[in-house]
Structure 1
Amino acid sequence: MNLSIPGFDHRRIAVDDQVSLHTAVGGEGPPVVLLHGFPQTHLMWRHVAADLAADHTVIVPDLRGYGASDKPAETGPDTYSKRTMANDIVTLAERLGHHRFALAGHDRGALVAVRAGLDHPEVVSHLAILDVVPTLDMWEVLHGADAKVAFHLYLMAQPPGLPERMIAASADEFFGFFLDAWTKAPEAIPGPVREAYLRASREAVPSIVADYRASAGIDVEHDRADRESGAQLRMPVGVLQQDWGAALGYDAAAVWRAWAPDLDHRLTGAGHFMAEEDPALVVKLLRDLLAR
């Protein structure tokens, strides 16, 4: 099985003195950047990227700390803050010659995308989000026994040491649990792709934990400051997610509308890995959004 996006070139692009991002680039036309989630790599976009490349320049990086991108040691809360990771993406696009682009993210990549939209509204023209709510809201909607669905958030929020050792001791079982539990169509992640995700994740335990740890600390601080200042996502925003609102007892569309007044909010019956389970649905969201 070809574990790359057909027709895409692969490059390493430096975004600062320590970090280069492994990036797949293909197509021609207005630029679109696609950011992957956990526990995956840029490969999760293989179907969607190939479709969009018919009339867009599509840029698909591995986030810092993931896949084949660099994994700097965690030296403080900023190393894996979503602000730092968003700056990576803006710099990456600039170095490819794009000073304004559409941005889509899934899971962890969606949190990076939200931060990019808040911090760089002059750069992000359109924003698409798959299956999350913003970091601050994520913690607020988790409560009681229902929060067990997100046990990994609490584990990886702990101080350095214990979570890294626990996860590294059974990395394939840990990461494989999410690949199995969060999908409604296991065949959408065939064996070679699944193994690629597991291999990439087991090689990145410290940086993945650091990414999650930031989401329980500095990322919350950044979101809270934006909420208090009234900052919003001013570009057109499209959200596609499972019906987490019904599952956890909140109004997901209202949560998003507080951040994004120009909102197209959609629900799907697909599982969490919707870009692989139902790529046509994700492409439709993106194309509808890009037409606005």
Structure 2
Amino acid sequence: MRKAHPLSLDDADLARLRGVGERLDLNEVEEVYLPLSRLLSYYVEGASHLHRLTSGFLGERPDRTPFVIGIAGSVAVGKSTTARILRELLARWPNTPRVDLVTTDGFLLPNAELERRGILHRKGFPESYDQRALLRFVAQVKGGADVVRAPVYSHLTYDIVPGESTVVHRPDVLIVEGLNVLQPPRVRADGRLSLALSDFFDFSVYVHAPVDLIRRWYVDRFLRLRQTAFSDPESYFHRYASLSDEQAQETAMNIWRSINEPNLRENVETTQGRATLVLTKGPDHAVHRVRLRKL
């Protein structure tokens, strides 16, 4: 499906792009992600052509409109790695040289505000995000604004970084990655539907795996992080670094059962049917099945 397009990533690139504990290899990139990036490049080209025709019909100046891709999935399923790889590959196709990636983590409410609202324990649930700011950001990018800024989230301090921002400058493609990016519109108090983030997407990907596999991957990742991110004294989770294997596993399972699994079942997994394409992973963390919603 990639029509002999050469794979331009190497092992060093994969080491930089893959997440903790993931077993992504070049063969999977060549068989799954490179063809997918080619398909996406066709979608970008087609959307651009349609936009030019529509602008001509309306007598408007045909400025290029960024193509927006949403990537959703559970914690620990590998959606961030999928987003990073697609960004890397898409940027190497001639018609999409400028590809930006923004995660919705930056639009989480600051910890102080979550504590004020009494929902710090529900971090990652839909209500823990500044939805208006997220919608405004994507709308501005989609609308062709020259410069748009997104807040920055630190996984080390587990909070928004004051005064820092990611700058997006008229990209060819914007990838928006996060747990809840495919949430349906909410019903407002007056009975009307609110605007949904997915209303701005030209294409969306859901990274799927059975819940029991994701649970195992989450616990395995938690155990590995004791020797890496958790070991930093500045880390919000530094208190977990000295846990024994048994203690760490019990802690990870408690966090999973109380936060991540309820959010997955109630808010994330339910959006799978809204995706344009679903990547299903097997026990080896590799993609075993690809389902595409045909035009």
State the TM-score, normalizing by the size of structure 1: 0.37
TM-score by length of 2: 0.37
